[in-house]
Amino acid sequence: MTDTKVRVGLVAGGLGAYWPQFPELLPQLKRSAERVSERMRALGADVVDVGFISDAQEGAAAAERLRVADCDLIVGFLTTYMTATMLVPIAQRSGAPVLLINLQPTESMEHATFDTGQWLAYCGACPLPEMANAFLRCGIPFRSVSGYVEDERAWARIGRWVRAAGVRAALRRGRHGLMGHLYPGMLDVSTDLTLVPANFGGHMEVVEFDDLRVRVEKVTGVEAEAKKKEAEEVFELADSVNDEDFSWAARVAVGLDRLVEDFELDSLAYYHRGLDGEVHERLGAGMILGASLLTARGVPAVGEYELRTSLAMLIMDRLGAGGSFTELQALDFQRGHVEMGHDGPAHLAISDSRPLLRGLGVYHGKRGWGVSVEFDVKHGPVTAFGLRQGRDGRFAFVVSEGAVVDGPLLQIGNTTSRVDFGCDPGEWTDAWSATGISHHWALGTGHRLADLRALADLMEAELIHVRP
Q: How does DSSP assign 166-218, residue by residue?
A: HHHHHHHH-EEEEEE-PPTT-TTT---TTHHHHHT--EEEEE-HHHHHHHHHT
DSSP conformational letter for 123: -
How far are the Cα atoms of 322, 400, 440 from residue 464, in angstroms, in the given order? Answer: 21, 9, 16
Instruction: Please give the order of strands across the beta sheet that includes 370-374.
Output: 236-237, 356-360, 370-374
Instruction: Give the domain ranges of the chain.
Output: 6-172, 174-465
CA distance 35 to 43: 13
235 CA to centre of own chain: 26
Among 210, 231, 228, 232, smallest CA distance to 220 is for 228
| Dist CA 157 CA 146 (whole Å) | 9
Q: How far is CA 246 from the centre of its chain?
A: 32
Please state, as a whole number, how many other Cβ atoms lie within 10 Å of the Cβ of residue 258.
17
**CB-based contact 300:308 (threshold 8 Å):** no
Instruction: Pick the closest to residue 325 from 343, 349, 338, 305 (CA basis).
Output: 343
Profile the chain (468 residues) by mean pLDDT over runs of 10 residues: 78 98 98 97 96 97 96 98 97 94 97 96 97 96 96 98 97 96 89 94 96 98 97 93 93 98 97 89 92 95 94 96 94 97 86 88 63 91 97 96 95 88 97 96 97 97 95
Distance CA 88, CA 114 (A): 32
Total-model pTM: 0.94
Contact 20, 71 (CB under 8 A): no
What value does the CA radius of gyration of the chain take, rounded to a whole number of Å? 25
pLDDT, residue 4, reads 61
Question: Which one-letter amino acid corresponds to residue 72?
Answer: D
Cα 74 from Cα 72, distance rounded (Å): 7
Do the domains spanning 6-172 and 174-465 agree at the CATH topology level? no
The CATH number assigned to the domain with range 6-172 reads 3.40.50.10940
> Has domain 174-465 been given CATH number 3.40.50?
no
